[in-house]
Amino acid sequence: MFQGQCGWFSSSVSRDLRQFWVAEGGTISDPRAADFLFSCDASHPDTLRIYQSLDYIEDNATVFHACYLSAVAKAEMKNSVALGHFILPPACLQQHDEVTPNEIKILRENSELATEHKKELPK
């Protein structure tokens, strides 16, 4: 799934999600070399450094919530999970501090419903 892709992981991301990334063909790199930036906490110091970087300020970097990887792992059709639903904005732009477990559940359910709907479409 992630063959040839480089990802940076905040220390707020679980070891299991990092291992999933590697098991699916991805490599782990520093933020400047990464194709994807993952975090579970917008206020974590290493993620704050990303938000304060010139790359981020100039719109050359996007931080994604690492629960995207959980959604991909659970999806029957891995390519059906929309990465754009998992953008993690800086904490100051969020209505509340973090994505709640209930919101993550809703995102996963919506992803599963979309996958089921695609299966049901006639060819």
Domain boundaries, the chain: 6-120
pLDDT at position 117 over 50? no
Name, in order, each residue with C-beta under 8 angstroms of 80's C-beta and a sequence gap of 6 or more.
Answer: 111, 114, 115, 118
The pTM is what? 0.76
pLDDT, tens only, 14-62: 999 999 999 999 999 999 999 999 999 999 999 999 999 999 999 999 9
CATH 3.90.1170.50 is the classification of domain 6-120: no
Q: Residue type for 93, please?
A: L
Which phi and psi (to 5°) does residue 97 adopt?
A: -60, -45
